[in-house]
Amino acid sequence: MTQPMSILTKIAWNFSPKMRDHAVQAVLIFTSVFLAFALNECRMTSIEKRETRKALAAIVHEMENNLDVLERWAPYHKEVMDRTFQLLETDSAVLTQGRFSLEHLAGDSSSLMREFLTRHAWGYINAQNINFDLQTRIDVIMVYQQQEFVEKSLGRLIELLFSREMLEENQTLENYVLFGQYMGDLWGQEHAMIDTYKFTLERLKE
């Protein structure tokens, strides 16, 4: 009885040269496609890793800049807040005569803040070819969400200073009280934000 393997061998050798050429070409084509796919995957992975590193570096750089801004301005804001509450504890005529004036509180500075926090690197979170690990994504999202509270607190303070009520002479005391409360909220947000920046930067640099 002829063995199955012998039959297959005979069939294989009975293939015409043309059929064998087709078979070889098919194998070569398959191998070429597979290698091209594998090389493309490696190239895309390499690009993704490179872009992710660049994005993380940009985020870290922006956080460091924002931290520097707050570390310069938060102490000054605390001074303004303290001056406001000290003024409210006195019987100063400033509280009952004339309008609210920032000059009594701002000290040597002519502005409450000349630098602002930025969020340009926020767009990297959902950008293509960037793949942060889960913990990094969570850390970055939480930082920018908390930063939004600081920005809103500063926005409310600026809106208060430019409001019509701040010009009312019969609301001077109330305006100083309100300003002190808003300054306290801003400084509290900044103080917490500084701690968050430092903690997150330490994690991102590990």
Tens of pLDDT along 124-178? 988 888 989 999 999 999 999 999 999 999 999 999 999 999 989 889 999 999 9
Residue that is written with structure tokens 């078979």 in the block: 23
Locate the domains of the chain by residue range. 4-38, 50-204
CA distance 98 to 94: 7
Name the pTM for this structure: 0.77
Tens of pLDDT along 23-53? 667 776 767 676 666 665 666 566 788 899 9
The per-residue pLDDT for 114 is 83
Tens of pLDDT along 180-199? 999 999 999 999 999 999 99
3-state secondary structure string across the chain: CCCHHHHHHHHHHCCCHHHHHHHHHHHHHHHHHHHHHHHHHHHHHHHHHHHHHHHHHHHHHHHHHHHHHHHHHHHHHHHHHHHHHHHHCCCCHHHCCCCCCCHHHHCCCCCCCCCCCCCHHHHHHHCCCCCCCHHHHHHHHHHHHHHHHHHHHHHHHHHHHCCHHHHCHHHHHHHHHHHHHHHHHHHHHHHHHHHHHHHHHHHHCC
